[in-house]
Structures are given as structure tokens and as C-alpha cells.
């Protein structure tokens, strides 16, 4: 029997045989994402006994094959992000992978190939060429309240001057920041924004202690780390003062709203499909997710309109079954009643992920227009 355990502080794969438990590949790396969704498969088995694993570091994912003797070799080094859906068919491996210049698509690898043999797209249609050449992001760190905060920074090409900044808080909140082509990021970069994706405390890929740091501090440590990245980029001349914004979806939307509820560097915030009250949301999630939801909740509590200190854009689909559209609509109405430049967009029939292309386009354009409006206001 094979199973995942983080008994060492890292998600590693173990083998139980004859009442003896051994690690397939003992490593200080997470071999699986945070277990807050069902259906993941982050390892697979070849007919010759080789085990294929994913190794995460918070940004990138490495594919590794471990043969029956325990020898390891890397697979598909051209891929930087791999979703946790590993499929092995005879001697081939199929994954949903991506790179900084290609969006997620189907890729295949020959398990008999030499180490570092590249993955190949299963069909050219899986990885369409972007209409321009995206500039690969840089990895950087900022000084935070508890050490260094890692982040990916995407910048517009051919400019060294300060530019508007969008800090993005990932969902989960125990998700990661995949190093891959993301069209939402590229949309804002193409309109002159720098985009910083923050691997805040609580993210996956940096071990159990880092992931659990957010327990009881959701809405605090994530906000502090996002603000630290914004302040760092302002102080280094990368971000334009007065034009720094934060956005997030789902759990990231809660982070964005909490950031808007306290003094900080952000001139505005966008909350998409946001969790507004963690305690209420906890009662609505599937039962197996409730312990995860409960352990995250802390003193930050529910976001309330009267605490908001900067303009907020609320975006929500009316058919969202994960976070409450009714709650978001009421929150937006209460904000509007207070004045202060707030705005909202309720998308008829939109789901939690705004999966329909038309809904996604409306949301992106509304968010861009929101930031442009704020930047056009006279500065105090």
C-alpha cells in the first residue's frame, strides 16, 4: 500500500509492505498539494515498478521518477507547473503541464527516456502560441513580519520606470503560486501593470510548518505578507506610489477585503467570488472541508462595510454555489450606501470560477476600469 504523510514536516510518499513503512523518496519537499480537494493524484506507477512523483516548492513543480532500486531521475524539465493529475499508461506519462510561456495543456513523457528528456505536447492545439512573447516573471523576496516573503513579479516589457502594481492573493487559502502562463496576469501586464503573486504564509509547497502558519491567523498574516511585497516594490522604485492595488478570488478575495479594512499601501481592492464571513462559509462547505475551514479562522473575523478604508470592487456570479452571491450583493449594497468610490459587478448566471469566457471578460474589463478610475482621481 502507498500513502502520503507529512510526518517529517513534508508531504512524502510512503510504502507499507510486510508491516514496514518506508519513504519512496525521502525529501524536504512537498510531493502533494494541500489536501483540501478530492480527486488529486500526484503520483503514478509504471509497469516496471518505477514510481513517478511531483515535487513542489511553492512556485514550480518538478517531475521525478524513482526506479525499484531507489535511483531517481528528473522528467520533463521544460515544464514548470504540473497539475496533480498524474496518469501512467504502460510506459508513458501524461500530465497537465505548463511553462512561463505556455498555458496548461496535455503533455506526454516517455518513461524509458534518459534523465532530463523534455516533455512533448500531446497535440499542438493543447498549447497555442500566445499572441505575443510574455516576459518570464522574476522571483524575489521582501522583508515581512516573520522573515522573507517570496513572490513572482511580472513586469511590462521594456520599462524600468515605476508602474501601477497589482498584488494578487491566491485562493485556497492554502494554494500555491504556479510558475506558468496566466492570461489574467498577462491582461494586466499588457495594460502597463506590474503583477506580484505572493506566496504568503499558509501557502502550499514550503512544508507543514509554513502551511500551518496561517491557522488561526487567516486575514492577518496573508494580508501582512501581501502588504510587505507592495511596500518593497514601492521602496525599490518598481511600483508607482498611489497606484498599488490588491485583488483576490474566493479565499484570496477575503484576503483582499481584509487588506482594504486596515491602513496599508493599497489604493483599492478587488474581491471576486469572495468569502466575506469565514464562520458562515464554514457551514456551507462540504463536510470533509470543514475542519480545514475551522482551523483557519482567527480574530480577523467577518469583513464588515464600515471597516473598509479604500475603494472596493465586488465581483460575483449569481450562480455561485461555493460562496454566497446573496451575501456579496448585500455587502456591495452596504458599501455603496457608505460612498467612497466603491463599485460592484454581479454576473447573471456566473459560477464561482467565472468559467464562461463572456463573464471572465466582463470581470477583467470592470477591474481594469476600476483601477484606471482610481488612478485618474486627484491625489490628496
Residues 88-110 have pLDDT tens digits of 998 899 999 999 988 899 999 99
Cis ω for the linkage preceding 221 (within 30 of 0): no
Nearest to 238 by CA among 317, 153, 171, 316: 153
pLDDT for position 129: 59
Rg (CA), the chain: 21
Nearest to 225 by CA among 236, 213, 243, 216: 213
pLDDT of 127 higher than 90? no
Q: Which grid cell sits at 244?
A: 498599488
pLDDT per residue over 269-327, tens digit each? 999 999 999 999 988 888 878 888 899 999 999 999 999 999 999 999 999 999 999 99
pLDDT for position 116: 86
Instruction: Quote the CATH superfamily of domain 2-126.
Output: TolB, C-terminal domain (2.120.10.30)
Residue 41: partners with Cβ closer than 8 Å, 6 or more residues away: 84, 85, 86, 87
Mean pLDDT of the chain: 92
Q: What is the CATH number of domain 138-376?
A: 3.40.50.1820
Q: Tell me the HSE value of 182 on the side-chain side, using a 13 A CA sphere.
A: 19
Span 34-41, mean pLDDT?
Answer: 79
Span 203-215, mean pLDDT?
Answer: 93
pLDDT for position 380: 55
pLDDT of 379 higher than 80? no
Q: Which grid cell sits at 141?
A: 523576496
pLDDT for position 360: 96
CATH 2.120.10.30 domain locations along the chain: 2-126
Quick one: pLDDT band at residue 4, thresholds 50, 70, 90? very high
pLDDT per residue over 334-348, tens digit each? 999 998 899 999 999
What is the separation of C-alpha 137 from the centre of its chain, rounded to a whole number of angstroms? Answer: 15
pLDDT for position 33: 87
In terms of pLDDT, which residue wins out, 34 or 186? Answer: 186
Nearest to 59 by CA among 87, 30, 85: 30
Residue 251 dihedral angles phi and psi, to the nearest 5°:
-65, -35
Return the number of other C-beta atoms located less than 10 Å from residue 84's C-beta: 18
Quick one: pLDDT band at residue 251, thresholds 50, 70, 90? very high
Q: Tell me the HSE value of 242 on the side-chain side, using a 13 A CA sphere.
A: 9
C-alpha span between 117 and 151 (Å, rounded): 29
Quick one: pLDDT band at residue 124, thresholds 50, 70, 90? low
Are 342 and 332 within 8 A, CB to CB? yes
pLDDT of 159 higher than 90? no
pLDDT of 349 higher than 90? yes
Q: Is the dihedral of CA 98, 103, 109, 113 positive or negative?
A: negative
pLDDT for position 372: 98
Residue 29: partners with Cβ closer than 8 Å, 6 or more residues away: 10, 55, 56, 57, 62
pLDDT for position 231: 97
Angle at 260 between CA 257 and CA 261, to 5 degrees: 90
At residue 16, the 3 state secondary structure works out as strand
CATH 3.40.50.1820 domain locations along the chain: 138-376
Q: Tell me the HSE value of 280 on the side-chain side, using a 13 A CA sphere.
A: 15
C-alpha span between 88 and 45 (Å, rounded): 6
pLDDT of 264 higher than 90? yes
Nearest to 79 by CA among 109, 106, 99: 99
C-alpha span between 58 and 197 (Å, rounded): 11
C-alpha span between 218 and 227 (Å, rounded): 14
Residue 2: partners with Cβ closer than 8 Å, 6 or more residues away: 13, 14, 15, 16, 24, 43, 51
HEC profile of 221-264: HHHHHHHHHHHHHHHCCCEEEEEEEEEEECHHHHHHHHHCCCCC
Amino acid at each position: 500500500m502507498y500513502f502520503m504523510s507529512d510526518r517529517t514536516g513534508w508531504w512524502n510518499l510512503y510504502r507499507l509492505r510486510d508491516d514496514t513503512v518506508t519513504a519512496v523518496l525521502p525529501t524536504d519537499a512537498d510531493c502533494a498539494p494541500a489536501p483540501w480537494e478530492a480527486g488529486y493524484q500526484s503520483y503514478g506507477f509504471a509497469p516496471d515498478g518505477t514510481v513517478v512523483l511531483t515535487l513542489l516548492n511553492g512556485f514550480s513543480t518538478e517531475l521525478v521518477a524513482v526506479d525499484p532500486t531507489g535511483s531517481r531521475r528528473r522528467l520533463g524539465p521544460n515544464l514548470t507547473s504540473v497539475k496533480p493529475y498524474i496518469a501512467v499508461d504502460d510506459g508513458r506519462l501524461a500530465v497537465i503541464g505548463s511553462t512561463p510561456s505556455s498555458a496548461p495543456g496535455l503533455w506526454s513523457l516517455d518513461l524509458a527516456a534518459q534523465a532530463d528528456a523534455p516533455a512533448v505536447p500531446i497535440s499542438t492545439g493543447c498549447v497555442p502560441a500566445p499572441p505575443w512573447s510574455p516576459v518570464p516573471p522574476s522571483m524575489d523576496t521582501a522583508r515581512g513580519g516573520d522573515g522573507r516573503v517570496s513572490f513572482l513579479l511580472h513586469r511590462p516589457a521594456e520599462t524600468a520606470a515605476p508602474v501601477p502594481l497589482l498584488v494578487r492573493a491566491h485562493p485556497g487559502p492554502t494554494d500555491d503560486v504556479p510558475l506558468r502562463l496566466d492570461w489574467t496576469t498577462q491582461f494586466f501586464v499588457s495594460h502597463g501593470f506590474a503583477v506580484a503573486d505572493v506566496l504568503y504564509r499558509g501557502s502550499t509547497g514550503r512544508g507543514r510548518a509554513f502551511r500551518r502558519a496561517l491557522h488561526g491567523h487567516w486575514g492577518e498574516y496573508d494580508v501582512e505578507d501581501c502588504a510587505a511585497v507592495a511596500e518593497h516594490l514601492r521602496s525599490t522604485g518598481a511600483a508607482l506610489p498611489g497606484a498599488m492595488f490588491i485583488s483576490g478570488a474566493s479565499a484570496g478575495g477575503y484576503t483582499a477585503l481584509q487588506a482594504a479594512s486596515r491602513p496599508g499601501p493599497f489604493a483599492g481592492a478587488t474581491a471576486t467570488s469572495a468569502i466575506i464571513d469565514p464562520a458562515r462559509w464554514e457551514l456551507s462547505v462540504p463536510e470533509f472541508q470543514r475542519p480545514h475551514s475551522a482551523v483557519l479562522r482567527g480574530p480577523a473575523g467577518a469583513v464588515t462595510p464600515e471597516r473598509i478604508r479604500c475603494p472596493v470592487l465586488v465581483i460575483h456570479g449569481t450562480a455561485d454555489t461555493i460562496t454566497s452571491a446573496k451575501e456579496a450583493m448585500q455587502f456591495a449594497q452596504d458599501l455603496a450606501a457608505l460612498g467612497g468610490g466603491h463599485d460592484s459587478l454581479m454576473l447573471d448566471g456566473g459560477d464561482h470560477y467565472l468559467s464562461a469566457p463572456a463573464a471572465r471578460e466582463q470581470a477583467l474589463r470592470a477591474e481594469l476600469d476600476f483601477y484606471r478610475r482610481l488612478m485618474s482621481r486627484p491625489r490628496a
